[in-house]
């Protein structure tokens, strides 16, 4: 399995106000969807130094 970590920003997007539990549930859904279809999952991060 390969991983790519790249820096990203939201730009002018408006983010939904979600609880931590809701964010975790959405994250889990995305991971499971990618695994189920045998695809790749790209997870954007704001700063490489902080995602370690």
Q: CA nearest 1: which of 52, 39, 51?
A: 39
Report how far Cα 26 is from the mean position of its chain's Cα atoms.
9
**2-29 tens-digit pLDDT:** 777 766 666 667 778 999 999 999 989 9
Name the pTM for this structure.
0.54
As given in the structure block, the two tokens for residue 28 are: 């889990």
Query: Which residue in the block uniquely carries the two structure tokens 């790519």?
Result: 4
Domain range for 42 is 1-52
38-49 pLDDT, tens per residue?
A: 888 877 666 666
**Count of structural domains within the chain:** 1
């Amino acid at each position: 399995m390969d991983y790519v970590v790249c820096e990203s920003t939201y730009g002018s997007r408006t983010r939904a106000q979600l609880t931590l539990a809701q964010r975790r549930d959405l994250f889990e859904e995305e991971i499971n969807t990618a695994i189920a279809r045998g695809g790749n999952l790209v997870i954007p991060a704001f700063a490489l130094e902080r995602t370690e």
